[in-house]
Chains A and B, each alone.
Chain A
């Protein structure tokens, strides 16, 4: 694009001087068009209507991601093709879909990283279909309401002091962008359809971020054990594998939570201790051991 500009002068620049020349043009290094074509097979349809795959030939642009190709189809061939997206920078987690069968963010999946040949784009399988690439993910928002929020001890009015190592540990969980790809891939939801009794990886990460916050005083172990269905997870690590934020969901969230639940419910030494103290296994507020 620099080529379109007046070179080597300090003349007053004029509007429309070509600093931002369009990329749709002949295949040149500036346009980014490679001259190649991508075959895109996109799921199309809605419940109660016709459903199937539509094939589109999309001109390839250097560095193109799957979402670029879907947008090209919307603009040029099928204006009512539905997909969710927002930031297009891997930061909001809206454009989740299954590309060649793998749950991914469309905005971070470069076409040139996929095997040559047709690229198949489908909606997430574990959520009810609304239309085309868009599914109903509202149950995730309902699940979140079941988790008691961050709760600190009464305020003494002074600025908190927290160590950076605590922040570093929590930050991994807080990186979650709620793309729900982990909820999509998890076989407890996907194969066994147990989402009504299972919070799912996203919300185990959420609970971990609360439970391990040094200033939080609640105890959510019973919730995880009962309503949360933590025990259904048999640590196949599929969630970790698809996480676009590289959160070690299984190792750093689910397994530590399983250990905490086991401490509360199954540890024989603690069971004896509780019997002697006369307290029940049911847990509640516990500022002391945090």
Chain B
């Protein structure tokens, strides 16, 4: 090391302070571990606040036929059956307890007339299932967990710190290296175990509902440390993002608008979802609705700015709309000058969520690298090829807790914490400081320019629809940008320098983009969010595997991992979903599900 750096030591290091990170930290601290939560932003600003619709849980407070089994079936079918069924099983059972736990920690939920937790309808959920408070459930969840964590003995928070590398001892992760954003000081954290709860990545796309933080640092760091990144081709377009004015493009319009009765219309006033999905209509799964809007626009039936009209004004009273969708009213009034209780909104698909992530064990969240755990959007497996709305807030609670507890056990079973390799530290330091140091004259590259170029490539060629040709263009662009990224130069100093910080973000985004494009290329089929124009149908073999990207010999390789098939008694649960279609069942499950009962549909 050429300069001094801050050092910290803890049993469990939690990277990320969204819902998954906070829930993991609470679990680790309650298990008796000293727990350090590192957050790239201020505490309480993580992307969880953007989750609006609610937490899906089979409480059956309104619709009595609902249960965890139906929730299991809906989630598997939504994910096109390439979810890790054991994760879905744990999830749909435990999310019920996690909702009640959140309430007992002070979280608010809207109520039924009987005073029970209110639930609302959402896309591709068989019954009213989303526990919510207005349209700000994510904020409620993060504030409740934040407060619980701050007051749980053994936790500590380090805000506005970017971690750039996982440190390893042998094959085990033993800490992380990074810098404090506000001072530029370097920091080394030694830890018994690490929970990666760093969320997803959308910033490599031009139009996204993600904040600046969604650059995939966690996935990139895990990849560099040897972890497998699974299902990276599955990137969710939320069907309804704002599209006008230009500065607001991509900002999320909650699915709760449709959950509360809103419908989509094209420029001819037609409720076009009746054509694309006659059963679920406007509340079809997100992949289907996003593609339908895209098709309407391409067919010349788009709204003036290239999207669709979302109409709630003609469906509910103005008072109802203000009560149930307050932040949507506010958002459209402030940013677009639109009163949604009187006029329709203009909406179009926006990059919203990443189903892929670090490959983990269902029970513990353990990655394929010892000492490294992952939970929430940073992990893969629960959502398969497409996530249902309301399943991410549940995901972070259920698997945040599990990963935190498992990391604590792992840290406790470790004797002394292994020493940190000086060679690794020197390499990490050189990488981080490079953009401030080297003098390249005219050959220097601007990190903002590279970021913008990557966004163009990914949006146009690896976006909502893909082909061999477009993906190959994207991969070429990523290769060129990766080469140029070695010459990124940041002006200014170490103190709070966004130009320098963006250099790091670009490197993470390039790694993650490469994994997305390589996986999307290898998945020569259309399934869930992956829409291949050149392979419009599902492929039987690809329905029985996940793809993983991993580092081998310094280069990224995509490999197949066989899915563990559902046991016969689990497959039969699929028929509990109102949307189960026996004809759509893949051949390896054929004949294992009894015909749906008379109450279906």
Determine the distance from Cα of A23 to Cα of B98 in the docked complex, in whole angstroms: 43
Q: Which residue in B148, B461, B466, B533 is a CB contact (below 8 Å) of A149? A: B148
- Tell me whether A131 and B140 are in contact (CB under 8 A): no
Determine the distance from Cα of A79 to Cα of B435 in the docked complex, in whole angstroms: 13
Q: Please give me the residue from chain A that is nearest to B474 by CB atom.
A: A15
Q: Which residue in B133, B463, B490, B497 is a CB contact (below 8 Å) of A82? A: B497
- Tell me whether A161 and B115 are in contact (CB under 8 A): yes
Residue A14 lies at the interface, judged by CB distance under 8 Å to chain B = yes
Which of A83, A89, A161 has most chain B Cβ within 10 Å? A89
Residues in A neighbouring B100, C-beta threshold 8 A: 159
Q: Which residues 11-43 of A have a CB within 8 angstroms of B?
A: 11-17, 19-20, 22-23, 30-32
The distance from the CB of B264 to the nearest CB of chain A, in whole angstroms, is 16
Residue B542 lies at the interface, judged by CB distance under 8 Å to chain A = no
Residue A225 lies at the interface, judged by CB distance under 8 Å to chain B = no
The distance from the CB of B539 to the nearest CB of chain A, in whole angstroms, is 19
10 residue pairs from A and B, CB less than 8 Å apart: A2-B303, A32-B245, A64-B247, A74-B499, A79-B497, A91-B50, A108-B335, A134-B182, A137-B42, A162-B115
Determine the distance from Cα of A155 to Cα of B140 in the docked complex, in whole angstroms: 21
Residue B56 lies at the interface, judged by CB distance under 8 Å to chain A = no
Determine the distance from Cα of A6 to Cα of B295 in the docked complex, in whole angstroms: 11
Size of chain B's interface in residues, with CB distance under 8 A? 98
Residue A8 lies at the interface, judged by CB distance under 8 Å to chain B = yes
The distance from the CB of B100 to the nearest CB of chain A, in whole angstroms, is 7
- Tell me whether B496 and A134 are in contact (CB under 8 A): yes
Residue A222 lies at the interface, judged by CB distance under 8 Å to chain B = no
Determine the distance from Cα of A138 to Cα of B327 in the docked complex, in whole angstroms: 27
Residues of chain B touching chain A, judged by Cβ–Cβ distance below 8 Å, are: 41-47, 49-50, 100, 103-106, 108-111, 114-118, 133-134, 136, 139-140, 143-144, 147-148, 150-151, 157, 159, 182, 206-207, 209, 211-213, 244-249, 251-252, 294-295, 297-300, 302-306, 326-327, 330-331, 334-337, 348, 446-448, 452, 456, 459-461, 463-467, 469-470, 490-493, 495-500, 502, 533
Which of B49, B463, B464 has most chain A Cβ within 10 Å? B49
The distance from the CB of B488 to the nearest CB of chain A, in whole angstroms, is 11
- Tell me whether A61 and B297 are in contact (CB under 8 A): no
- Tell me whether B496 and A15 are in contact (CB under 8 A): no
Given the interface pairs A13-B533, A85-B212, A164-B111, the reply to whether A8 lies near B299 with Cβ below 8 Å is yes
Residues in A neighbouring B110, C-beta threshold 8 A: 164, 167
Q: Which residue in B134, B143, B465 is a CB contact (below 8 Å) of A15? A: B465
Residue A132 lies at the interface, judged by CB distance under 8 Å to chain B = yes
Determine the distance from Cα of A98 to Cα of B535 in the docked complex, in whole angstroms: 53
- Tell me whether A13 and B294 are in contact (CB under 8 A): yes
Given contacts A93-B45, A145-B151, 7 further A-B contacts (CB under 8 A): A5-B302, A13-B295, A16-B461, A88-B251, A91-B136, A130-B182, A163-B115
Which of A15, A161, A171, A210 has most chain B Cβ within 10 Å? A15
Q: Which residue in B134, B470, B498 is a CB contact (below 8 Å) of A74? A: B498
- Tell me whether B116 and A161 are in contact (CB under 8 A): yes
The distance from the CB of A198 to the nearest CB of chain B, in whole angstroms, is 20
Q: Which residues 130-162 of A have a CB within 8 angstroms of B?
A: 130-132, 134, 136-138, 141, 144-145, 148-150, 152, 155, 159-162
Determine the distance from Cα of A15 to Cα of B49 in the docked complex, in whole angstroms: 32
Residue A126 lies at the interface, judged by CB distance under 8 Å to chain B = no
Q: Which residue in B104, B466, B500 is a CB contact (below 8 Å) of A155? A: B104
- Tell me whether A149 and B143 are in contact (CB under 8 A): no
Residue A86 lies at the interface, judged by CB distance under 8 Å to chain B = yes
- Tell me whether B492 and A79 are in contact (CB under 8 A): yes
Residue A99 lies at the interface, judged by CB distance under 8 Å to chain B = no
Contact with B along A171-198 (1 / 0, CB 8 A): 1001101100000000000000000000
Residue A94 lies at the interface, judged by CB distance under 8 Å to chain B = yes
Given the interface pairs A17-B298, A130-B495, the reply to whether A63 lies near B247 with Cβ below 8 Å is yes
- Tell me whether A80 and B50 are in contact (CB under 8 A): no
- Tell me whether A86 and B116 are in contact (CB under 8 A): no
Residue A75 lies at the interface, judged by CB distance under 8 Å to chain B = yes
Determine the distance from Cα of A61 to Cα of B41 in the docked complex, in whole angstroms: 28
Residue A229 lies at the interface, judged by CB distance under 8 Å to chain B = no
Given the interface pairs A79-B490, A159-B116, the reply to whether A150 lies near B105 with Cβ below 8 Å is yes
Determine the distance from Cα of A63 to Cα of B247 in the docked complex, in whole angstroms: 7
Residues in A neighbouring B45, C-beta threshold 8 A: 86-87, 92-94
Determine the distance from Cα of A192 to Cα of B44 in the docked complex, in whole angstroms: 28
Q: Which residue in B114, B252, B448 is a CB contact (below 8 Å) of A79? A: B448
- Tell me whether A167 and B498 are in contact (CB under 8 A): no
Size of chain A's interface in residues, with CB distance under 8 A? 80
- Tell me whether B247 and A80 are in contact (CB under 8 A): no
Residues in A neighbouring B499, C-beta threshold 8 A: 74, 79-80
Contact with B along A50-76 (1 / 0, CB 8 A): 000000000001111100100000110
Given the interface pairs A15-B466, A80-B491, A159-B117, the reply to whether A150 lies near B246 with Cβ below 8 Å is no
Residues in A neighbouring B306, C-beta threshold 8 A: 1-2, 5, 19-20
Determine the distance from Cα of A130 to Cα of B134 in the docked complex, in whole angstroms: 36
Given the interface pairs A159-B117, A216-B106, the reply to whether A62 lies near B246 with Cβ below 8 Å is yes
Determine the distance from Cα of A65 to Cα of B334 in the docked complex, in whole angstroms: 10
Given the interface pairs A14-B533, A86-B41, A159-B100, the reply to whether A177 lies near B139 with Cβ below 8 Å is yes
- Tell me whether B456 and A174 are in contact (CB under 8 A): no
Determine the distance from Cα of A174 to Cα of B103 in the docked complex, in whole angstroms: 14
The distance from the CB of A229 to the nearest CB of chain B, in whole angstroms, is 21
The distance from the CB of B377 to the nearest CB of chain A, in whole angstroms, is 15
- Tell me whether B497 and A20 are in contact (CB under 8 A): no
- Tell me whether B496 and A79 are in contact (CB under 8 A): no
The distance from the CB of A88 to the nearest CB of chain B, in whole angstroms, is 7
Q: Please give me the residue from chain B that is nearest to A131 by CB atom.
A: B496
Determine the distance from Cα of A247 to Cα of B105 in the docked complex, in whole angstroms: 23
Determine the distance from Cα of A63 to Cα of B209 in the docked complex, in whole angstroms: 18
Given the interface pairs A84-B42, A163-B111, the reply to whether A15 lies near B104 with Cβ below 8 Å is no
Residues in B neighbouring A155, C-beta threshold 8 A: 104
The distance from the CB of A143 to the nearest CB of chain B, in whole angstroms, is 11
The distance from the CB of B500 to the nearest CB of chain A, in whole angstroms, is 7
Residue A46 lies at the interface, judged by CB distance under 8 Å to chain B = yes
- Tell me whether A89 and B252 are in contact (CB under 8 A): yes
The distance from the CB of A45 to the nearest CB of chain B, in whole angstroms, is 11
Residues in A neighbouring B148, C-beta threshold 8 A: 149
- Tell me whether A132 and B496 are in contact (CB under 8 A): yes
Residues in B neighbouring A23, C-beta threshold 8 A: 246, 249
- Tell me whether B49 and A65 are in contact (CB under 8 A): no
- Tell me whether B334 and A110 are in contact (CB under 8 A): yes
The distance from the CB of B473 to the nearest CB of chain A, in whole angstroms, is 8
Residues in A neighbouring B294, C-beta threshold 8 A: 13, 19
Determine the distance from Cα of A145 to Cα of B182 in the docked complex, in whole angstroms: 22
- Tell me whether A174 and B41 are in contact (CB under 8 A): no
- The 7 closest A-B CB pairs, nearest first, are A63-B245, A150-B106, A80-B492, A79-B499, A161-B115, A1-B306, A15-B470
Residue A249 lies at the interface, judged by CB distance under 8 Å to chain B = no
Q: Please give me the residue from chain B that is nearest to A92 by CB atom.
A: B45
- Tell me whether A152 and B104 are in contact (CB under 8 A): yes
- Tell me whether A138 and B159 are in contact (CB under 8 A): yes
